[in-house]
Chains A and B, each alone.
Chain A
């Protein structure tokens, strides 16, 4: 499969989950394991551009797909607008949910470029923040949406 625009080729057991594959075979530990029951969304990555919980997908199912993890989101030294917005709006506290939140937000803004606050809250319902820092997360996503619309 392609991970962050680079080819990855590893032989793994059938039961290997995508999140294990990314963390253990590819060494990309930016993707976190939170609840491990597809509730919390900490393990969210993009599979062919769409948000997916990588703890509930087999690596084998992603064979041949193009995966983006948090490590691959920036364009070199230039952060993705969603990353910048989380930084500027203090969209994180402990940071554990952040990688998943950012990727879920990227996917959401791809589907709804001009979201209302309600769209953002509903769109991120699959991502839990144990610090309960939702207010600034929503603010960050709305700010990112504005930046991305302005630069299009």
Chain B
């Protein structure tokens, strides 16, 4: 399978990338690690006329202690997240979730920013970032702006990013080395989650987010509310599918996904 023909240009800096994408219009797309975009292009489900390769912008690859939060460059690879000591100490959940993305080969190429910008509800990291109340810094021709994770994921593969905006940084609160769990359910090694549940103690509360239970990653707000009202993990987990619209596909029916969400949220809550 070969992608449809396109023009390839490489950006050396974020500013250059934004100027290049502006020059080439709406049919141009950014290419980071390519772990989501290239498979879609090979299936010709995506046919951009221009790819702006941002994969070599080295100064967007970092995990930094920024005082009250951690700052993660958008081009930081999953491999660099899963081996980051700083992340292990200050935000263990993100490191653990990154270690469950795809397989080694995918983690050697895929980036956190690419995963977020792609906006796939079946991806692991977007749900974790939603649970962490992350902030996304995006840069466009008019300068940078910040978008809360809660406002970022708008629909299936749709995000708040304008076509000429580049996600440059992910900011997460420090949530410590422990107090989290990620329950990912799939039937084949390396596959996407049929359903996944992230639970993490953040800022004194318990946050829960779901993978693949709707068109976007979702916060399990009914579970969180039940927990604040003193419900047990088992009782709160029964609320896991409230407000979700789980998809039907070859792997699972909506009813089965609802069941999985309840079981996985219970396991995650019992583990933290």
Chain A residues close to B by CB (< 8 Å)? 13-15, 17, 20, 36-39, 41, 44, 47, 50-53, 55-58, 60-61, 104, 107-108, 111, 123, 125-127
Contact = CB atoms under 8 A, between A and B. Distances in A.
Most buried by B among A37, A51, A104: A51
A61 B52 CA distance: 11
B104 A108 contact: yes
B102 interface: yes
Contacts of B104: 51, 104, 107-108, 111, 123, 125-126
Interface residues of chain B: helix, strand, loop or mixed (majority): mixed
Given A41-B103, A125-B190, A58 B8 contact: yes
Nearest to B79: A50
B106 interface: yes
Interface stretch (B31-39, B167-175, B200-208, B229-237): B31-39
Interface string B19-59: 00000000000010011001101100000000101010000
Contacts of A107: 104, 108
Contacts of A53: 105-106
Interface residues of chain A: helix, strand, loop or mixed (majority): mixed
A-B pairs, 8 with minimum CB distance: A126-B103, A14-B8, A125-B189, A50-B108, A15-B3, A53-B105, A125-B190, A126-B105
B105 A104 contact: yes
B103 A57 contact: no
Contacts of A126: 102-106, 189-190
Contacts of A56: 34-35, 38-39, 42, 109
Contacts of B42: 17, 36-37, 55-56
Nearest to B3: A15
A27 B42 CA distance: 22
Contact of A14 (B1, B51, B109): B51
A44 B5 contact: no
B109 A52 contact: yes
14 contacts: A14-B5, A14-B8, A38-B105, A41-B103, A50-B108, A52-B105, A55-B42, A56-B34, A57-B34, A58-B31, A60-B8, A104-B105, A125-B103, A126-B104
A23 to B, nearest CB: 13
Contacts of A50: 79, 108
B105 A14 contact: no
A13 B109 CA distance: 21
B227 to A, nearest CB: 32
Contacts of B79: 50
Contacts of A123: 104
Nearest to B103: A126
A57 B189 contact: no
A123 B103 CA distance: 7
Interface string B118-136: 0000000000000000000
Interface in B1-22: 1-8, 10
B53 A60 contact: yes
Most buried by B among A15, A52, A108: A15
A57 B109 contact: yes
Contacts of B109: 52, 56-57
B105 A15 contact: no
Given A41-B105, A104-B104, A108-B104, A57 B190 contact: no
A61 B3 contact: no
